[in-house]
A and B are shown apart, each in its own frame.
Chain A
Amino acid sequence: MNMDEELQDARLRELARLLGSGAAERLDVERTAQAVVTRLRERPRVTLTGWVWMQPAWLKIAAAIVLLLGAGVVTRVLVRERIPSALVAPLGEDLTDLTSDQLRETVGALEQPFADESPGALDAGLESLNTIELRALLRTLES
């Protein structure tokens, strides 16, 4: 560092030391101290819970959890909507209790999702099947 630079540095530090000194001297410290004490008395301390929840990191984590829960709920609703209501009950019960119409309705509901698995039977049209054939078809689909 040459002499010019040293002088410049010294001048800069000197100027920095002077900066704001006038304003600071004019500050009424005693009045400020009393005002701070009064404000501390008036405004109760922030509770730990309040402080924790004000932290950005906690807010981000909370937002992420809410988003995940929301996405989970929406997914669940969508999946439920896609399962035909007719499918839920009959497959869990005994098929012998169903009438021909109920069996046709149930197989009709199954037609879309399982179309690729049993194309022959479903392509032929359900109207032509009797009760026994419908039961057999449903059992096949069940297994």
Chain B
Amino acid sequence: MPQAQSVAAADAVLIAAWQGGDEQAAAELVRRHARALARFLAAAGAPEADLDDLVQETFIRAFRAVGRFRGQCQFRTWLLTIGGNVLKDAARRFQQVRVVPLDDDLRSRDGDPHETAVAGEAEGRLREGLERLPHMQREVFLLRAQQGLEYEEIAAALGTSPGAARVHYHHAVKRLKESLQ
């Protein structure tokens, strides 16, 4: 928790600097959070070819709207929810999000080829399951399971209650388990 507080404090300083016109502060915020955002977007169904554009668009929207960020959650969490909306808009534009090749993440892994293939298959099913989830369930699941956030933090970012976030998560888990079986 202290680490999260120091991250939040550092982000707050950079946000204030950006609001004061410091472009390098904006660049530093991108450096700090771009990879986590990219991981979140890729898991939510963003095609790798569009990942850079989606990350950029998310940061642009976030920097334009930063005046509305009141520190109700961490900057990164807020950024991820904006990313979710950017991806949703993009998916609407392109009719549907293209599926990322399933073995992309697996090629870099070492180990037994059979295990790798099994893991790849499970990952593929998880991706498909995630794509079928309602937007809210998918976001809550990824924020919790992938980013390791608490329900309170997720609820603050998504404008819902921790109880509702918990329910979304459990619905998502139930459906994803079904897709994995």
What residues of chain A have their CB less than 8 Å away from a CB belonging to chain B?
8-9, 11-13, 15-37, 39-41, 43, 45-46
User: Please, how many angstroms separate the alpha-carbon atoms of A15 and B125 in the complex?
Assistant: 10
A25 and B34 CA atoms in complex are apart in Å by 10
Given A16-B145, A18-B123, A32 contacting B55 (CB threshold 8 A): yes
Given contacts A23-B100, A24-B39, A15 and B26 within 8 Å (CB-CB): no
Q: Does B30 contact A (CB under 8 A)?
A: yes
Q: Do residues A40 and B60 form an inter-chain contact, with CB atoms below 8 A?
A: yes
Q: For this complex, into which size category does the number of interface residues on chain B fall?
A: 35 or more
Query: Which residues of B are in contact with A by a Cβ distance under 8 Å?
Result: 23-24, 26-28, 30-31, 34-36, 38-44, 48, 51-52, 55-56, 59-60, 63-64, 100, 104-108, 119, 122-123, 126-127, 130, 141-142, 145-146, 173, 176-177, 180
Chain B positions within 8 Å of A12 at CB level: 126, 145, 173, 176-177, 180
Contacts of B127 in A (CB 8 A): 19
Please, how many angstroms separate the alpha-carbon atoms of A22 and B107 in the complex? Answer: 9
The residues of A that contact B52 with a CB separation of less than 8 Å are 27-28, 31-32, 35
A23 and B126 in contact (CB under 8 A), knowing A12-B177, A45-B64? no
Please give me the residue from chain A that is nearest to B123 by CB atom: A15
Nearest CB of A to B30, in Å: 4
Report the nearest B residue to A28, measured CB to CB: B52
Partner of B105, one of A13, A19, A36, A39: A19
* Interfacial chain B residues near A46, Cβ < 8 Å: 64
Q: Is the CB of A33 within 8 A of B122?
A: no
Q: A34-B27, A46-B64 are in contact. List 9 more A-B contacts (CB 8 A).
A: A8-B177, A15-B122, A16-B141, A16-B145, A19-B39, A23-B105, A27-B35, A27-B38, A29-B31
Residue numbers in A under 8 Å from B40 (CB-CB):
20
User: What residue of chain A has the Cβ atom nearest to residue B39's Cβ?
Assistant: A24
Show 17 residue pairs from A and B whose CB-CB distance is below 8 angstroms, ordered by the A residue.
A16-B43, A19-B39, A19-B105, A19-B126, A20-B39, A20-B40, A21-B39, A22-B106, A23-B100, A24-B36, A24-B38, A33-B34, A34-B27, A36-B59, A36-B63, A40-B60, A45-B64
How far, in angstroms, from A27 to B31 measured CA to CA in the complex? 11
